[in-house]
Amino acid sequence: MENNVTGMDELLAGYAAGTLSYPAQALVGAHLELSGRNRGYVSSLETLAGLDLDGSEPVPLSDRDTALGAIFSSEAPLLDEISFSPPQKGSVSSGVPRSLQSIIGSSMNEVAWKGLLPGVRECRFGEIDGCNTSLLWVRGGRALPSHTHHGAELTLVLQGGFSDDDGHFVTGDIAFADGDVDHKPIADKGEDCICFAVTAGRLELTGPIGRWFAPFIS
C-alpha cells in the first residue's frame, strides 16, 4: 500500500471536498470505515474546508424572515434521515460497508455474482456517474488475468487481500492504478478476496464542483 500513494492524498482531498464521482466518493467512504489510516488526514481537510466556509463572503438571503419561518414551522421529514445517523466503523464480515450499500445492497449474500473464470466471479453495477462500477470475487490463491485499463482504476479490498506489482493490499486498502498500469493481481492464499472496483476513462480526481450543480440549473 505504501508503495502506491501516488494520487492517494489528492483522492482523499477530493472525498473531503465532495468532488469525486459518486462511486469513487462511496469507495473512499468505505475505506475510511474499514481503515483508520487516513481518517485524521480527511478530518483535517474537512476542518480546512470548514474554516474556508466560515471565512466566505456572506451573501444575504433573498428573504431571510420567510426562510427562518419555514424552518420553525415545517414538520416535514428530512429528505434523507439516514444521512445523519452516526457512522459505523464495522468490518465487512457483518455485511457491506455503509458507504457502499446504495450501490451493492445491504448484504454480500444477495449479490448477483456471475462466473467469469474458474475461481473468479464478478458483479457489474453498470456505469454510475460516468464510472464503471463492479465487485470482484477471487478465490484465495487464484491469479486474475492480466489487464490494462484506459483510465484510472480504484480498487478497495473488502475481504482477504491481493498482491500485484504495486504491492500487497489487504482489507480496507485502496489500490490506485492509472491508465498505464499492466495489472497481474494474485489473491492471497486462504480467504477469498472480494474487491470493489471503480474504473473511468475520464475520472477527474478534483472534478469541478460546478458540475455537481449543473443538473439543478438546467
CA-to-CA distance for 123 and 116, rounded, in angstroms? 9
Angle at 185 between CA 146 and CA 110, to 5 degrees: 105
> Rule CB under 8 A: is residue 84 a binding residue for other proteins?
yes
> Rule CB under 8 A: is residue 166 a binding residue for other proteins?
no
Site for other proteins in 171-210 (CB under 8 A): 204, 206-210
- Name the minimum Å distance from CB 28 to other proteins: 9
> Rule CB under 8 A: is residue 122 a binding residue for other proteins?
no
Site for other proteins in 8-27 (CB under 8 A): 9-10, 12-13, 16-19, 22, 25-26
- Name the minimum Å distance from CB 29 to other proteins: 5
Identify the burial level of 54 via C-beta atoms within 10 angstroms of its C-beta, where 0-12 means exposed, 13-18 middle and 19 or more buried: exposed
Region for 172 from its dihedrals, namely left if φ exceeds 0, alpha if ψ lies in -120 to 50, beta otherwise = left
- Name the minimum Å distance from CB 37 to other proteins: 10
Please say which residue, 16 or 144, places its beta carbon nearer to other proteins.
16
Beta bridge partners of 159: 194
The answer to whether 133 touches 126, Cβ cutoff 8 Å, is yes
> Rule CB under 8 A: is residue 113 a binding residue for other proteins?
no
Residue among 149, 123, 145, 146 at smallest CA distance from 134: 123
Please say which residue, 69 or 145, places its beta carbon nearer to other proteins.
69
Region for 190 from its dihedrals, namely left if φ exceeds 0, alpha if ψ lies in -120 to 50, beta otherwise = left
Site for other proteins in 50-79 (CB under 8 A): 50-62, 64, 67-68, 70-72, 74, 78-79
> Rule CB under 8 A: is residue 41 a binding residue for other proteins?
yes
